[in-house]
Structure 1
Amino acid sequence: MPRKPRFYLPGVPVHIVQRGNNRDPIFFDESDYTTYLGWLKKKHKKGSDPLKEVVGVLLAAGSGRRFGSDKLLHALPNGELMAVQACRNLLAGVDKVLAVVRPGNEVLVECLKAEGAVVEVCLAADQGMGASLAFGVGASASAFGWLIALADMPSIAPTSIVQVANALRTGELIAAPSYQGRRGHPVGFSSDLYRDLISLSGDIGAKSLLQSKKDQVYLVKCNDPGILMDIDQPDDLKLLNHK
């Protein structure tokens, strides 16, 4: 029997349940969710609000000294390169990704461009994460807000990224995902903090800014341990198998 026509109220969100016949599942692993979110994103762009564009700034300019080699080009257990997987997850949750890389890493540049990211080379990358972050925000100054993501965190679920981006769009000054009471990545910043962000320097990223605004950080609860998993040493890769 056909369903009755649905009615919609202007400006009221619609809750859509996606499932197969007889309530069978249609998503079986993380790649299914990522692909589906990508399709939704492409369709959404036609009617999206350009004034609320959230840019994902992917920090991929580290040297990887503790890892012992260029970890961002290291293959994960699923066969994908670390930075490529992190970029792909970020792209599924924001309007645009701007990847910040260090000079001379042409292989990484081409890999990230192939994923659809805009890639910018930060000549001051050796000055630390704060310098790379400030550079990335400055290179996307017209954004409504920014999600600052790390290229050595390839296990963050795209759904977590979407939730943080939406928190910025609804007016939060700073937003971040949390898992079991611990704040993780990516951290989102409103454009109201543009001047603060482009003034960052050193190797501690935005920690000083987060500390000064700690009462204004909105935490998004996520059932996603990947928001806490960064890969600093080869042994950390074992954690990915236990996510």
Structure 2
Amino acid sequence: MTAIAALILAAGRSSRMRGRDKLLEPVDGTPLLARICAAATQSAATTYVTLPTPDHPRAAVIRDHCQGARPVYVPNAEEGMAASIRAGIGARSREYDAVMILPADMPELTAKDLARVVAQASSTPDQILRATGADGTFGHPVVFPRRYFTALSQLTGDQGARAILKAAQHQGEIIRPVPLPASHALTDLDTPEAWAAWRQARKSTSTE
């Protein structure tokens, strides 16, 4: 059986939220971070969550709402996404066959979505997988097989794993798409305006 770890990237600064923390924004009465963590723990063998510090409010959310997850503190989180990926890969036990990397700011991802990605990874454990929107646009999460763990642990900067994906494509590797409903794999909310627009659209859809 393929063992897949989930790595939730939650050590960013929410710098575009003008004082608010996007990962603490409520979705159906639950902080977004708790929601994505719960979805991941239902799907993956183990869930790791990168966090800025042990005393950060996000760490309290994990302690209160997602005790099954393993926190990974990233003291140099200001470097960007690569620092979180390095820390998460370094904390992850070597027995895993693949890692599913997902940003924490994606409110439409569900446990069912992540289970679909994990199921596909279990059947094709040596391929890179990437979730897509219903229109085929690549989004998140992305699953990397074990042979990419070393490259992931050596990333730098704020581009995440894009360089690895580009290099894989350049070398002729097929990145297998995993279609998810609507824009579940694409919706990330980084500003108060984006949150307000998303909530309004969601409210309108629920009353139709």
Give the TM-score, by structure 1 length: 0.74
Q: Secondary structure at the match of 2:165?
A: helix
Q: Is structure 2 residue 170 aligned with structure 1 residue 218?
A: no
Change in Cα spacing, 1:202 to 1:105, as seen in structure 2 (3 Å) is farther
Q: Any residues of structure 2 matched to 1:6-17 within 5 Å, and which?
A: none
Q: Which has the higher contact order (CA 8 A, sep 6+)?
A: 2
Change in Cα spacing, 1:65 to 1:176, as seen in structure 2 (3 Å) is same
Change in Cα spacing, 1:223 to 1:172, as seen in structure 2 (3 Å) is farther
Residues 36, 110 of structure 2: 8 Å contact kept: no
Residues 127, 202 of structure 1: 8 Å contact kept: yes
Change in Cα spacing, 1:94 to 1:240, as seen in structure 2 (3 Å) is farther
Q: Any residues of structure 2 matched to 1:184-203 within 5 Å, and which?
A: 184-203=139-158
Q: Secondary structure at the match of 1:55?
A: strand
Which residue does 1:177 correspond to in 2? 131
Change in Cα spacing, 1:82 to 1:105, as seen in structure 2 (3 Å) is farther
Q: Secondary structure at the match of 1:226?
A: coil
Q: Is structure 2 residue 82 aligned with structure 1 residue 130?
A: yes
- How much is the aligned-residue C-alpha RMSD, in angstroms? 1.7
The structure with the larger Rg is: 1
Change in Cα spacing, 1:240 to 1:163, as seen in structure 2 (3 Å) is farther
Residues 5, 47 of structure 2: 8 Å contact kept: yes
Residues 113, 119 of structure 1: 8 Å contact kept: no
Residues 53, 59 of structure 2: 8 Å contact kept: no
Change in Cα spacing, 1:84 to 1:182, as seen in structure 2 (3 Å) is same
Percent identity over the alignment is 24
Q: What runs of 5+ residues in structure 2 fail to find an aligned partner?
A: 203-208
Structure 2 residue identity aligned to 1:120: V
More strand by share: 2
Give the TM-score, by structure 2 length: 0.86
